[in-house]
Structure 1
Amino acid sequence: MKKLWTLCAALLSVATMASAQTKLSCCAKPATTANATEAFAMLATNEDFSGGHDAPLPYAYEGQGQMIEFKTTDGQTGKAFEIKSNVRSDKYLFIIHEWWGLNDYIKKEAATYAKELKGVNIIALDLYDGQVATTADEAGKYMQAVKTERAEAIIKGALLHAGPNAKVASIGWCFGGGWSLQTALLAGPKAAGCVMYYGMPEKSVAKLKTLNTDVLGIFASQDKWISPEVAAQFQKDMAAAKKKVTIKSFDADHAFANPSNPKYSKEFSAQAHALALDYLRKSLKLKS
């Protein structure tokens, strides 16, 4: 989650070039892109986007958990970082990484949620198939390589790994926020909850009608890309789909929950985390 506000800024630039008459946010579907989730791949060739990311500081995670492999629905294998509950449980939280990939910072996030959500298995999915970026150029290439079909196959494989009785909640930020919502859609009856931090909403009301869970959307009122208008449209689309969504907007800028971002707000980040944690505990029916 390194300065991800630039991700949305760059997407806006790409969308504008695609259609000079159409003004799009990072949550809008570019006219030249069939699938909204693939819009992020377009950013790999945008110098403003790539150049706006500082490389993550060296960090080595040494806590609990292990990397696992599982079969994916396209006949391949997928990877994830898993922290199993210390008690038998069919409850899961899927965490979706941002553009650097499944690095040790994401593993640290997974460990934090493992401590806070007792009785829940934590799986941090790897949508980059083992690639972890340390430079903006690498991250751009890996992100560009993400295809919707492959990402969905990884998510479906993880759902199969969780088992037929699994109850799955998901969480992610920006890139991961959009995929958190897609995970909830793919989970079908297994879906138990969905948290998306300033992520790309699904635009299809028909698809939203298939959701089997409510959604907690955390947004920022000063966000110029995933703007209040985008959040409001998502709320309207969810209402049209007759699905429940809770929209919480903080008086902050995009990526305010990212400590590495200049727009980081310690106060609002803590409030948002507490909100997400309370939501996940209720969604997964955990004891406080």
Structure 2
Amino acid sequence: MKTIIITGITLLTSFFSMLSPTKREETRIPVCHGGNDMSAMAADPAFQQLHKAPLPFTYTGAGEMIKFSTPDGQSANGFLLKSKKASNKWLLVYQEWWGLNDNIKQEAEKFYNDLSDVNVLAVDMYDGKVATEPAEAGKLMQGADKNRLTSIMKGAIAYAGPKAEFASVGWCFGGMLSLQSAMLEGKQAKGCVMYYGRPEQDVEKLKTLQTDVLGIFGSRDKGISPESVKQFEENMQKAGEKVTVKMYDAGHGFANPSNPVYDKEATADAYKLALGYLKDKLKA
């Protein structure tokens, strides 16, 4: 009996010793932005290392900060770029785990300039807090209460009004929120783009979607694995929903210019794909 136990331990030890350092690191990183594990994951050093501190940047473009009411009796903030013509088309933009920083404002303006007659609202999910270091962002994400996040999204949807038609886009933490937002929008949802955010895997929740989804991911992402994306595709099929997945040969955060894994070509192609999708969903 002792011989069997020792042999088993030896085999397990040999297996893990054969893994490359990179592979061993991947086994320690939890699935990105995962439901009840969000707090623990945000505190994980391996996960934090996937997000390098953003380069200093100051936004000097158009738009204004606004406040809107939330169902929990509080108020929330957003960065609004209002359509020059009266429009019921809205793009909700969801931040990375850093917060509503100047980079997100610039991304919001980019979509605003390239979309016709669409109101663009970048939603502040951290109530005014913005991080500049991974550990700091981890603490903010750890402290993000799920009920408060939902209330902020509902407040943004209500701010646009009952006649609004929505599409949403977000990156990383915001990629997850973009999908959650689409489910909250109900029949007002017209489109959803999620960049390397944690996919919802609950089939019953996915059945509530009233729009298809465009998912943009990286095959070398150590937080959102290709396996979890494949599972998402399968669960969307079970739910009777449509998802289009574009997988790039890139890592987590590849579309952020301040990230060391930034991939210029993949970013340009992904933006072209997302923009074409959004134009089609938000056309008059």
Q: Does the TM-score normalized on the shorter chain lie above 0.5?
A: yes
Q: How does 1:22-171 map to 2 (within 5 A)?
A: 25-26=31-32, 29=34, 36=35, 38-50=36-48, 53-171=51-169
8 Å Cα contact 2:51/2:259 also seen in 1: no
| Structure 1: gaps (5+ residues) | 1-8, 16-24, 30-35
The 1-side partners of 2:27 and 2:117 are apart by 41
8 Å Cα contact 2:26/2:222 also seen in 1: no
Specify which of 265, 273, 276 is matched with residue 274 of structure 2: 276
The 2-side partners of 1:14 and 1:229 are apart by 14
The 2-side partners of 1:11 and 1:270 are apart by 27
1:26 counterpart letter in structure 2:
C
8 Å Cα contact 2:53/2:259 also seen in 1: no
The 2-side partners of 1:272 and 1:50 are apart by 24
Specify which of 178, 183, 186 is matched with residue 184 of structure 2: 186
Identical positions, percent: 52
The 1-side partners of 2:184 and 2:237 are apart by 20
The 1-side partners of 2:262 and 2:136 are apart by 25
Q: Alpha-carbon deviation of 1:243?
A: 0.8
1:208 equivalenced with 2:212 (yes/no): no
The 1-side partners of 2:160 and 2:273 are apart by 25
Of 243-252 and 153-162, deviating more is 243-252
8 Å Cα contact 1:96/1:177 also seen in 2: yes
Given the superposition, is the C-alpha separation of residues 139 and 228 from structure 1 closer, same or farther in structure 2, using an over 3 Å criterion?
closer
Query: Could you say which structure has the larger radius of gyration?
Result: 2
Alignment match, 1:172: 170
Where 1:56 maps in the other structure, the secondary structure is coil
Given the superposition, is the C-alpha separation of residues 43 and 224 from structure 1 closer, same or farther in structure 2, using an over 3 Å criterion?
closer
Q: How does 1:211-250 map to 2 (within 5 A)?
A: 211-250=209-248
The 1-side partners of 2:60 and 2:280 are apart by 30
8 Å Cα contact 1:50/1:140 also seen in 2: yes
Would you say how many aligned residue pairs link Structure 1 and Structure 2?
261
2:155 counterpart letter in structure 1:
G
Given the superposition, is the C-alpha separation of residues 180 and 11 from structure 1 closer, same or farther in structure 2, using an over 3 Å criterion?
farther
Given the superposition, is the C-alpha separation of residues 120 and 101 from structure 1 closer, same or farther in structure 2, using an over 3 Å criterion?
same
Given the superposition, is the C-alpha separation of residues 61 and 224 from structure 1 closer, same or farther in structure 2, using an over 3 Å criterion?
closer
The 2-side partners of 1:53 and 1:270 are apart by 20
Where 1:172 maps in the other structure, the secondary structure is strand
Given the superposition, is the C-alpha separation of residues 53 and 26 from structure 1 closer, same or farther in structure 2, using an over 3 Å criterion?
closer
Alignment match, 1:255: 253
Of 254-263 and 51-60, deviating more is 51-60
Of 254-263 and 108-117, deviating more is 254-263
Specify which of 264, 267, 271 is matched with residue 265 of structure 2: 267
Given the superposition, is the C-alpha separation of residues 257 and 57 from structure 1 closer, same or farther in structure 2, using an over 3 Å criterion?
closer
